[in-house]
Amino acid sequence: MAGTAKSRLTRRRTAATIAGTGDPAWVRWSICLVSLAFLGLFLAVPLAAVFTEALRKGVGAYLESFQNRDALAAIRLTLLVAGIAVPLNIVFGLAASWAIAKFEFRGKSVLITLIDLPFAVSPVISGLIYVLLFGLQGWLGPWLAAHHIQIIFAVPGIVLATIFVTFPFVARELIPLMQEQGTEEEEAALVLGASGWQTFWRVTLPNVKWGLLYGVILCNARAMGEFGAVSVVSGHLRGQTNTMPLHVEILYNEYNFVAAFAVASLLALLALVTLVLKAIVEWRTQRESTELPASTPTSLQEVT
Amino acid sequence: MESPPSSPAFRVGVGRRRRSVLPGFGLTLGYTMLYLSLVVLIPLSALFFKTATAPWEHIWETVSSARVLASFRLTLGASFVAALINAVFGLGVAWMLVRYTFPGRRIVDAVVDLPFALPTAVSGIALTTVYAPTGWIGRWLESWGIKAAFSPLGVTIALTFIGLPFVVRTLQPALEDLDPEVEEAAASLGAGRWQVFRYVIVPAILPALLTGFALAFARALGEYGSVVFIAGNMPMKTEIVPLLILVKLEQYDYTGATAIASVMLALSFLLLLSINLLQWWSTRRQAAG
């Protein structure tokens, strides 16, 4: 739903250049103080609380939380689900952005809106639609039951719901980026005798690698952290259909706070790593775009 | 964004060549449509068919019951207040990040995205711990007689947390695109700093501010994970709509869950439509200006 038309990677950053605006010192100070206090109360304090609560009974108790079989199973399931959902959405993102950015066809803007659709749907509804489709009372429910295939309250349902909520991430980063780069370089490569695949692997992919990485980082963070959608389709069976966020919920509701926050701290670390990687990628693209004017076809030499 | 390819004559020429030279159009578009249909369109249509085939009395009965209406009132109200808080403080944060340089600005800029990156369940239990009567901030609020967690205020706090990046990230590019010369011109014509802000800056960033507000509001409407822990989930008092969908599902009332969900989905699509209109408005204004 972060539906800004421009990719966040390509936006201009001119903060440093207009530092000398005419705000009086007292205005500057009060805006900064109020804003930082607001960020502190809403972002920094809760983040600090995760780690403080996790370590409340010492490092020993903290580490012990991960000795638990159910906790390990939850970690394994989360990795598995992300390991399936993220690659599938990468393939989709590459295919969709190639079709949308490199070709002209009718209904393109409708297609882009449809790709963004999962961001507009509440996580709970994202889970509900799969229950309506594959649940016992759903369309395919009776058929699936007859063939002993379980999707809802089992791992396939969790994977499907995760794919749905992370569906737009890669595509929405790649589409504006590829549109901006146009088709000249690919056309040149093809004229010079490269095959379609060679053109894709050696011209297109290197050109969009940072945008792709950016999309993958966000996609992965959401895939590992999704709670609402997964909560609807998971049967909450310990050790079987519990992902890390669901395991956090169970432990928390059992008043097992140290263990809950211990698992939560892993997810918080994941979030922090995501933010750092994201900042690095943003910084790199920004540097590259200032160093090389975007219109110079630099990778042509590599193809020839 | 570069200027040469956007001249109409050039675009037509390239468009014609494009179709003949680059391969893979059929394959990639076909795969895109297939995957989109399987993952998004068919499951979503299941919701609409379920609603359309359900008995109308049952749907109406569900949606107009006191408990559901109370949850809609809470969700809409808390989302609106949270988006409003974010519009005010988000403008402050975006202004600070774009206009001022200070040590640690990059870190603050990165931290704004924390609500995107932090799994909602983690934000939920963290906010609850902090704002509970025994928590770091909740204890202090309690001494003023304010009950934060397990009240509508708690719901609003969680929704403010979740919506913040939308406002800041929408406003930042708009503030960066402001032409300093216009402000200088206004100042040289005798406008005070406040007048420049009120009559030059606010009109220019208004579309972005409204878009950010709408995005934060839309996200808050559907939010589940970060709210369920801090809300306390008392029927009629602190139950949000997404939770009620889950409650209906747990009671095997599929029609009831579907009815509430389709009302929510209709609201979300209305918001999506207005966000698109807002963006169309702002790009048109940019083009005109």
Q: Tell me the three-class secondary structure of chain A, residue by residue.
A: CCCCCCCHHHCCCCHHHHCCCCCCHHHHHHHHHHHHHHHHHHHHHHHHHHHHHHCCCHHHHHHHCCCCHHHHHHHHHHHHHHHHHHHHHHHHHHHHHHHHHHCCCCCHHHHHHHHHHHHHCCHHHHHHHHHHHHCCCCCCHHHHHHCCCCCCCCHHHHHHHHHHHHCHHHHHHHHHHHHHHCCHHHHHHHHCCCCHHHHHHHHHHHHHHHHHHHHHHHHHHHHHHCCHHHHHHCCCCCCCCCCHHHHHHHHHHCCCHHHHHHHHHHHHHHHHHHHHHHHHHHHHHHHHHHHCCCCCCCCHHHHC
Residue B27 has pLDDT above 70, yes or no: yes
Residue B7 has pLDDT above 90, yes or no: no
Nearest to A184 by CA among A297, A304, A289, A302: A297
Q: Which of A90, A106, A128, A220 to mutate to test the interface with B (most CBs of B within 10 A)?
A: A128
Alpha-carbon distance A252 to nearest alpha carbon in chain B (angstroms)? 8
Alpha-carbon distance B283 to nearest alpha carbon in chain A (angstroms)? 9
A212/A98 Cα distance (integer angstroms): 13
Token readout for B131 is: 């704002």
B98/A16 Cα distance (integer angstroms): 8
Alpha helices in chain B (DSSP H): 8-21, 25-36, 42-53, 56-63, 66-99, 105-111, 114-117, 120-131, 138-143, 152-177, 180-188, 193-196, 202-222, 225-231, 241-250, 254-288
Q: Does B182 touch chain A (CB under 8 A)?
A: no
Nearest to B164 by CA among A142, A110, A46, A148: A46
Residue A137 has pLDDT above 90, yes or no: no
pLDDT at B288: 67
b/e A65-104 (16+ beta carbons within 10 angstroms → b): beebebbebbbebbeebbebbbebbbebbbbbbbbbbbbe
Other CB atoms within a 10 A radius of the CB of residue A288 amount to 11
Q: Which residues of B touch A122 (CB under 8 A)?
A: 221-224, 242, 261, 264-265, 268
Nearest to B127 by CA among A224, A212, A41: A41
Confidence of residue A12 (pLDDT cuts 50, 70, 90): very low
Phi, psi of A270 (to 5 degrees): -55, -45
Among chain B residues, the shortest Cα distance to A119 is held by B219
Confidence of residue B289 (pLDDT cuts 50, 70, 90): low
Q: What is the C-alpha R_g of chain B?
A: 24
B173/A6 Cα distance (integer angstroms): 9
pLDDT digits (tens, 9 = 90+) for A35-44: 999 999 999 9
> CA torsion, points B167, B173, B174, B180, in degrees to nearest 10?
140
Is residue B162 within 8 Å of residue B123, measured between CB atoms? Answer: yes
Q: Which of B18, B28, B153, B250 to mutate to test the interface with A (most CBs of A within 10 A)?
A: B28
Residue B215 has pLDDT above 60, yes or no: yes
Question: What is the pLDDT averaged over residues B20-41?
Answer: 90
pLDDT mean across residues, chain B: 88
Q: Please, what is the angle between helix A69-102 and helix A108-120, to 10°?
A: 160
Residue B30 has pLDDT above 60, yes or no: yes
pLDDT at B17: 43
pLDDT digits (tens, 9 = 90+) for A60-110: 999 988 988 999 999 999 999 999 999 999 999 999 999 999 999 999 989
Question: What is the pLDDT averaged over residues A44-60?
Answer: 94
A89/A169 Cα distance (integer angstroms): 8
**Among A285-294, B23-32, B197-206, which stretch is predicted with the lowest mean pLDDT?**
A285-294
Other CB atoms within a 10 A radius of the CB of residue A194 amount to 18
Confidence of residue A292 (pLDDT cuts 50, 70, 90): low
Nearest to A244 by CA among A52, A70, A38: A70
Chain-chain contact of B224 with A4 (C-beta, under 8 angstroms): no
Token readout for B287 is: 């083009």
Question: What is the pLDDT averaged over residues B144-154?
Answer: 92
Residues shown for chain B: 289
Query: How is residue B22 annotated by DSSP?
Result: S
Residue A296 has pLDDT above 60, yes or no: no
Q: Does B10 touch chain A (CB under 8 A)?
A: no
pLDDT at B165: 95
Q: Which residues of A touch B170 (CB under 8 A)?
A: 4
Phi, psi of A108 (to 5 degrees): -65, -45
Q: Which residues of B touch A260 (CB under 8 A)?
A: 125
Q: Does B189 touch chain A (CB under 8 A)?
A: no
B residues 48..87 contacting A (CB < 8 A)? 50
Contacts of B62 (CB under 8 A, 6+ apart): B68, B248, B253, B255, B256, B259, B260
Residue A196 has pLDDT above 60, yes or no: yes
Question: What is the pLDDT averaged over residues B234-256?
Answer: 91
A262/A67 Cα distance (integer angstroms): 11
Q: What is the C-alpha R_g of chain A?
A: 23
Chain-chain contact of B119 with A2 (C-beta, under 8 angstroms): no
A233/A184 Cα distance (integer angstroms): 46
| ipTM for the complex shown | 0.86
B189 or B243, which is more confident?
B243
- Side-chain-facing half-sphere of B38: CA atoms under 13 Å: 11
Domains in chain B, please, with CATH?
A: 58-288 (1.10.3720.10)
A243/A258 Cα distance (integer angstroms): 18
Q: Which of B12, B123, B255, B282 to mutate to test the interface with A (most CBs of A within 10 A)?
A: B123
Nearest 5°: the CA angle B281, B287, B288 is 90
B residues 99..158 contacting A (CB < 8 A)? 99-102, 105-106, 108-127, 129-130, 135-137, 157
pLDDT digits (tens, 9 = 90+) for A237-261: 777 889 999 999 999 999 999 999 9
Query: How is residue B4 annotated by DSSP?
Result: G
Token readout for B98 is: 């774009």
Q: What 3-state class would DSSP assign to B214? A: helix
Alpha-carbon distance B249 to nearest alpha carbon in chain A (angstroms)? 8
